[in-house]
Structure 1
């Protein structure tokens, strides 16, 4: 199991340093499946000290598509309803934004 978050992780040990942005390069086409639940809808809104990015959620979907093996499965849990951005808390996906989330080459 591998877990990612927005932050750079620095261990007290000088032997371990991890930058999430480099993870997708190291693990290109590596995973048979990816599961994301209640996470991507927060990407790019700055609530968890992540960089502000109006398409941060779409970028995360593209990163995931690069990490999946061809034919890999993606299990996604996001709020669905009328398109909305709830302050800097989360997005709700509807007729406009939901298709944008799945516009990638592999997803």
Structure 2
């Protein structure tokens, strides 16, 4: 049996090129799979980041609202304190002008409320 070396050369070359092509295709597929996983992970991180951002904004708005409510209540308390002091001053002046039992009772009640606040 006679061996045709030219056919053998081409067969071995074609086999080598086929194996090399299959290996390159496999590497390209692996790179594609890794890329898809990376994109999915990046998308998941983006969603989690947005979620955390929304939660932080919601908490900030809630704290701002609570602070505004506390500020409003503090202003109301300050106004009540001021009113109580003014009433105490008024009844003290009234009692100093007219020393009556009614003026004294009103002065004592108003000044006691002013001291409590």
Q: TM-score range by the shorter chain?
A: under 0.3
Structure with more helix by fraction? 2
- Scaled by the length of structure 1, what TM-score is found? 0.19
Structure with more relative contact order (C-alpha pairs < 8 Å, separation 6 or more):
1
Over alpha carbons, which structure has the higher Rg? 2
Structure with more strand by fraction? 1
